[in-house]
Structure 1
């Protein structure tokens, strides 16, 4: 005897499958949005010559992280929390696929009254990168951190000497400056990495390795923005449509327009100037 399927169980299975598909799609949109926002933040910061991360520092970076909209949590001493992305420079000089990260805790040196700020971190040592790939780095403990220099400081490379492993920046209310992030922890956002790369349990070491597959779009836009910043190039200007060329004018000629093409004519000289022409 054939058993009839339970209508309720069938509807429940369809509902759960639909929820899973919807959740995956929404999660993917969140990661795409985070990458696009991070790209915009970095491009806007680097487009301000007097208030940006010095090119000499970006050229020496082992990794760069952008955490948009880090928000203030709690009251009093409280802390901060934000989600961002990080890329690591490979031995070839190219940048890795983005790793999704979290930034939590710590006493952030933001301006008084600021509730949200964009944060950029520039890593100048291999040790600090190894810690992140391992799962967690606490700024000020596992890696020394300092407020980064801002603007066109061409001589700062020798004056500062890159004594810190991480240089930190923040932008809030239109102002961009170095910021103290002692005690803040950077951790791997495993769920976002799994959702974006479509691979359960993917490790940060797999994402950044030299033979890693190409990351989905819009990861390439963020990587390109980091590359431009490290090269000292301003963000690419939008393409403009060139004005139509004026129609070519025919060259002036003394030739008789009534003459056949390719034939040139000249007037005869008057043999008796000043006299009446013959009848």
Structure 2
């Protein structure tokens, strides 16, 4: 096969994933739904101890992965930052990434990232450049289970632990190569123009994280 043919195939295979960020309120409500799902099965949720000691949690709902030979990922989400009083400031972020290999089709997944160190979080919040997981920030697949220990050698060294759900239960997964960046446009709109419903959604997300971090959780909602 000629180089020209290979180049053409590569161009055809590159997914056109660039999409506009959804409204801030939609992202916040979708992130809240992801956290509700995290509480649905205690044996398959993020350990409480990990959340207790976290500096921040990023939730990126509906990350799209698409491609044929060259694949890509794209998603828009939110990071909730912990301060001395609990879960506080919110920043909107973007996730992008690429992979090579046969992966025909389109898949949507929810991604949750737990930031264990302040340094890693601050590098993201500075917003000066994009950060690559596994490169700029050490990342490891997260442990599972409400009371599971997060203290393994690999996870102790990681600045970020990651979870993803494509269908059904969450699982700890490695997201090496995924790129995170601040979504400046959505943050600006949130600060300037967010209405009461959007602020209500932001507060609901903080409350849900506080519930997940607490010693006891309310029962998961009954699905009808």
Q: TM-score range by the shorter chain?
A: 0.7 to 0.9
Task: Give the TM-score normalised by structure 2.
Answer: 0.77
Aligned equivalent of 2:191? 197
Q: 1:123 aligns with which of 115, 124, 136?
A: 115
Q: Which of 224, 229, 232 does residue 207 from structure 2 map onto?
A: 224
Q: Which secondary structure state, in structure 2, belongs to the residue aligned with residue 84 of structure 1? A: strand
Deviation, structure 1 residue 161 = 5.8
Show structure 1 runs of 5+ residues with no match: 1-26, 200-214, 239-279
How many residues get paired?
Answer: 195
The whole-number CA distance in structure 2 between the counterparts of 1:29 and 1:106 is: 21
State the Cα distance separating 1:106 from its structure 2 match: 3.9
The match for 2:179 is 185
Give the match for residue 77 of structure 1. Answer: 70
Decide which structure has the larger Cα Rg and report it: 1
**Which position in structure 1 is the counterpart of 2:43?**
50
**2:61 aligned to which of 53, 57, 68:** 68
Rate the CA distance shift 1:233–1:197 in 2: closer, same or farther, 3 A.
farther
Identify the structure with bigger relative contact order (alpha carbons < 8 Å, sequence gap 6+): 2
Q: CA deviation at 1:236?
A: 6.0
Shift of 1:35: 0.3
CA deviation after TM superposition for structure 1 residue 185, in Å: 1.0
Aligned residue runs from structure 1 range 86-235, under 5 A: 86-90=79-83, 92-107=84-99, 115-135=107-127, 136-157=130-151, 162-198=156-192, 216-235=199-218
User: In structure 2, do the counterparts of structure 1 residues 107 and 122 end up closer, same or farther at CA, with 3 Å as the change threshold?
Assistant: farther
Bigger drift between 147-156 and 98-107 goes to: 147-156
Provide the rounded CA distance (Å) in 2 between the counterparts of 1:237 and 1:150: 18
Q: 1:81-115 CA distances to partner (integer Å, 9 max, x unpaired)?
A: 1000001111x14222211100001449xx99771
Judged with a 3 Å threshold, the aligned counterparts in structure 2 of structure 1 residues 128 and 106 are, in CA distance, closer, same or farther, namely farther
Tell me the alpha carbon deviations over residues 131-185 of structure 1, each in whole angstroms, 9 at most, x when there is no partner. 1111132111111001111114534436766221100001111131011111111
Closer, same or farther: CA 235–160 of 1 in aligned 2, 3 Å: farther
**Structure 1: how far apart are the matches of 2:68 and 2:75?**
17
The corresponding residue for 2:5 is none
8 Å contact kept, 2:31–2:78? yes
The answer to whether the 8 A contact 1:128-1:165 is kept is: yes
* Structure 2 portions without partners, runs of 5+: 1-19
User: What is the Cα deviation at residue 233 of structure 1?
Assistant: 3.7
Whole-angstrom distance in 1 between the partners of 2:22 and 2:107 = 25
CA distance in structure 2 between the aligned counterparts of 1:80 and 1:161, rounded to whole angstroms: 24
TM-score, with structure 1 as normaliser: 0.63
**Cα offsets for 1:185-208 (capped at 9, x unmatched):** 111111111111117xxxxxxxxx
